[in-house]
Chain A
Amino acid sequence: MNTIATVKIAVNALSINKMRSSLTMLGIIIGVAAVIAMISVGSGARAQISKEIASLGSNLLMVWPGTATSGGLRMGFGTTPTLTSDDAKAIAAEVSSVSFVAPVLNGTAQVVYGNQNWSTIVTGTTSNFFELREWPVVSGKVFTQRDVDGATKVALLGQTVVENLFGNEDPLGNIIRIKKIPFKIVGVLARKGQSPIGQDQDDSIYIPLTTAQKRLFGTRFPGMVRMIITKASSPDMIKNAEADITALLRQRHHIMAGKEDDFSVRNLTEMLSTAEQAAKIMSILLGSIASVSLIVGGIGIMNIMLVSVTERTREIGIRMAVGARARDILMQFLIEAVVLAIIGGGIGIGVGAMGSWLISYFAGWEIDISLFAILLAFGFSAITGIFFGFYPARKASRMAPVECLRYE
């Protein structure tokens, strides 16, 4: 018996019980939709993350003060004033595996221009910072080492600050007041977008480190910084740099062997791989939904096919009486199961594509619906149909013709 005729018979048989057929497909539809969503969201998220890594700059190491255990209390990052500008200078001078060093001291401050005011994060740092973050200016220029040495009152603005204080006006050369202290604007930074933790990186002002220390966020610890950002000279050097910085700072802070560090060094690439891990977990989650519903859908198909074989016992007997071989009956029911699974798979692909599109629309993620994903989903549904359709089909094919014809 030829395949086209068999497929026709299968489609006819399925269309007799439309409601039942559609309900049976549901599991496959959900499973395949999850496969499509898994692949498109997964590859989209990976693309997003690598873009974020690029926006932060590569090979970065962050040094924070703290994590010293004092009296059983673990203190949070940045609460103990143990990191200074001198530490940063020492790292720059003595650690050869590091190519850039930028100490940072930041805080929130009210900024006023004319009758506009805006609350933003003001960061004191050195000119290295902008090279290290690969963050150029779009107008004006970055402040220099001379500004840092002289603690001059100059500022670089991020795009969000410009929009909120100046609107369409050119900010260059104007004076703003940060905590009532006048600063001259020497440059505007390029748009940087969101950080991996969802912060608007353009909502920021940068000033020389010394100015921040002396004028804005002064404490009783002169020279204190909140963080030192360093860049390893190459990806291979990240581990070396981490060890060298740790050794140097332990020596400078007179920490005896066996005692804990009073600072911590974090590798940014490592932190981002955590984000990548999260995307992977999302994929695994969708993958498990996919496999569970494909299995459940398959069992549904098997169940309905078993019912169908019993209901159509007489039909099987008639077909055998006029010359159908066991193989013909097997193929008829197997193809029926596969057609059911494949139609379900086709609908599932549509639903999955629509779902992925909605995720991308509302979550702002990129998605990537590939031909590979579609073929994979199709293959999965066909395999599910064959796997779960085989047992009922074989059962049908093994029935004795006389028994089938006697069946009421």
Chain B
Amino acid sequence: MTGLIDTSDLTKVYKMGDVDFTALQGVSLAIKKGEFVAVMGPSGSGKSTFMNIIGCLDTPTSGKYLLDKQDVSDLSKNDLAAIRNKKIGFVFQSFNLLSKTSALENVELPLLYNGSPSKIRREQSVSALRLVGLEERKNHRPNQLSGGQQQRVAIARALVNNPSLILADEPTGNLDSQTSIELMTLFKKLNKENNITIVMVTHEADIAAYGDRRIYFKDGRIVKDDKR
């Protein structure tokens, strides 16, 4: 398996008035294509900060980050936007769907920003919704869907551009355990059948158990790396 994510000595310093707060203190980590990684650790240990940097939503204060062998530590904002659009799909704890917009239009969103013609947009979005089992709900708005269904729409949106990487920050945080299990089954399937690399933050050991590898954060450092 070839490498997808390769970080060396990533740091992130937040400036809060006169005091600096170091959220990441040198994180070096390599993740290969096709891995399903669960990231664990106490609240405030820097998990989300790390996810945002490897998701190209934020830039590190220092250190190097290679995504798919491309150095992204010093890319322009526009280039980062293009990488988020093509290579990465996000799944958030709070779903982050556009509330006044149908499931289908939510899924179409990434395609709007890479100039896909409307026919292609529609076809790809419908098939992404089919993949998460929500094709017949495509005209429902988020407030007409259950939490689990909303998170499936968010996953369909993350998948619609055929990304190589899915980043999920506490995806089951707002879901009951039954729905969480269904979601993990879906993740597992996407990982095994579609060979999509998944990095997922979770607090729950039974959810983390779905991953092939568990990484533990503490005080902005990786303290444990359990490979199966």
Contacts and interface: CB of A to CB of B under 8 A. Distances in A.
B139 interface: no
Interface stretch (A133-141, A248-256, A315-323): A315-323
Interface stretch (B29-37, B63-71, B108-116, B144-152): B108-116
Contacts of A328: 113
Contact of A1 (B52, B55, B84, B115): B115
A265 B169 CA distance: 92
B77 A325 contact: yes
A324 B113 CA distance: 6
Contacts of A315: 98
Interface stretch (B85-93, B197-205, B212-220): B85-93
B81 A324 contact: yes
Contact of A405 (B96, B101, B109): B96
A291 B12 CA distance: 51
Contacts of A2: 115
A314 to B, nearest CB: 7
Contacts of B52: 402
A309 to B, nearest CB: 15
By size class, the interface of chain B is 20 to 34
Nearest to B78: A325
Interface in B40-81: 52, 55, 57-58, 77-78, 81
A16 interface: yes
Interface string A14-31: 001000000000000000
Interface string B122-154: 000000000000000000000000000000000
Contacts of B110: 322-323
Nearest to A5: B112
Interface in B182-226: none
A322 B85 contact: yes
B27 to A, nearest CB: 17
B13 interface: no
Nearest to B83: A323
B100 A322 contact: no
Nearest to B92: A405
B85 A402 contact: no
Contacts, number: 63
A323 B57 contact: no
B58 A402 contact: yes
Nearest to B99: A315
Contacts of A322: 84-85, 90, 109-110, 113, 157
A12 interface: yes
Contacts of A318: 96-98, 109
Contacts of B112: 1, 5
A401 interface: yes
Interface in A349-408: 400-402, 405
Given A1-B112, A401-B57, A402-B58, A321 B77 contact: no
B153 to A, nearest CB: 12
Contacts of A323: 81-82, 84-86, 110, 113-114, 161
User: For B58, B86, B113, B161, which residue has the most chain A Cβ atoms within 10 angstroms?
Assistant: B113
A245 to B, nearest CB: 80
A402 B81 contact: no
Given A1-B115, A401-B57, A325 B81 contact: yes
Contacts of B109: 318-319, 322
Contacts of A16: 100
Contacts of B101: 12
A320 B81 contact: yes
B58 A401 contact: yes
A324 B90 CA distance: 14
Nearest to B85: A323
Contacts of B55: 321
B100 A326 contact: no
Interface string A318-341: 111111111110000000000000
A323 B109 CA distance: 9
Interface in B164-182: none
Nearest to A326: B77
Nearest to A12: B100
A321 B168 CA distance: 13
B212 to A, nearest CB: 26
Interface in A1-51: 1-2, 5, 12, 16
A98 B101 CA distance: 81
A372 B148 CA distance: 57
Contact of B96 (A321, A326, A400): A321
A217 B78 CA distance: 93
Contacts of A401: 57-58
A295 B112 CA distance: 34
A11 to B, nearest CB: 12
A1 B109 CA distance: 10
Contacts of B100: 12, 16
Interface of A: 1-2, 5, 12, 16, 314-315, 317-328, 400-402, 405
3 A-B pairs closest in CB distance? A323-B85, A322-B110, A323-B113
7 contacts: A5-B112, A5-B118, A318-B96, A319-B113, A321-B57, A325-B82, A326-B81
Given A325-B78, A325-B113, 5 more contacts: A317-B96, A318-B96, A322-B113, A323-B114, A325-B77
Interface of B: 52, 55, 57-58, 77-78, 81-82, 84-86, 90, 92, 96-98, 100-101, 109-110, 112-115, 118, 157, 161
